[in-house]
A = this chain, B = another copy of it.
Amino acid sequence: MADMKETIKSVSIDLFFKKGYFATSISDIAKGSGIQKASIYYHYASKEDLLFHILKSTMDDLTTCLKKSLEAVEGIEQRMRAAVQSHVRFHLERQKENFIANSELRGITAEHYRTIVKKRDAYEVIFQDLIRVGAEEGIFADVDVKILSYAILTLCTAGATWYKSNGRLTVAQIADIYENFIISGLKQGSLS
């Protein structure tokens, strides 16, 4: 109970993941946090503000994580492999937040929505550039950049829907499976 603001956020992530944003009440969050519901409003301006905080920090951390993963990697194929690894791992390791980030965008105001979508677009562009340059260099097949970038991202994001941390496969194993599948799909039979 060190930091109540963080406790509330953490409890909210659990509840939004399990029940959904609209199905979760401020009362539920208060109960989970061990305080009265009025006290929530000392830490967050509104329920929407709380959701926005979760979405924003998740998107920021996701982007930071990707950029860090690409820092020292050279060559388009290796960079794409690193990008996929980063994306998959982040989504599995912070499963709940990522699930919320992908399913509760309708819960935020129009202005906040624009902020999040802008961040998401910038993230997508990094993948799109990798696909485009890879195709230009002949490493990848001549594919539709937009569609393939959505495909790759959704594919990896999907893990956040069904992944169980005590399941059959580790995060590293799942990331490897996706990495190989995606690289093969991008090459479409052309030589490496």
Interface string of A144-185 (1 = CB under 8 A from B): 101110110011001001100000110000100110111011
Closest to A192 in B: B189
Residues of B within 8 A of A103 (CB): 103
Across-interface contacts of A27 in B (CB, < 8 A): none
Complex Cα distance, B123 from A124, in Å, reads 31
Distance, CA A181 to CA B151, complexed state (A): 9
Whole-angstrom CA separation of A181 from B23 in the bound complex: 37
0/1 interface trace, chain A 112-126, chain B, CB 8 Å (1 if under): 000000000000000
Inter-subunit contact A155/B162 (CB<8 Å): no
Q: How many A residues have CB within 8 A of the partner chain?
A: 34
Task: Summarize A's interface: helix, strand, loop or mixed.
Answer: helix
A42 at the interface (CB under 8 A from B): no
How far does the alpha carbon of A64 sit from the alpha carbon of B175 in the complex, in Å? 33
Q: Is the CB of B158 within 8 A of A150?
A: yes
B-facing residues in A58-107 (Cβ within 8 Å): 103, 106-107
Residues in B whose Cβ lies below 8 Å from that of A158: 150-151, 154-155
On A, residues with C-beta under 8 Å from B are 19-20, 22-23, 103, 106-107, 141, 143-144, 146-148, 150-151, 154-155, 158, 161-162, 168-169, 174, 177-178, 180-182, 184-189
Which A-B residue pairs are the 6 nearest by beta carbons? A22-B22, A154-B158, A185-B185, A181-B185, A184-B188, A184-B185
| 4 extra A-B contacts, CB within 8 A, seeds A144-B169, A150-B162, A181-B186 | A20-B107, A150-B158, A154-B154, A155-B155
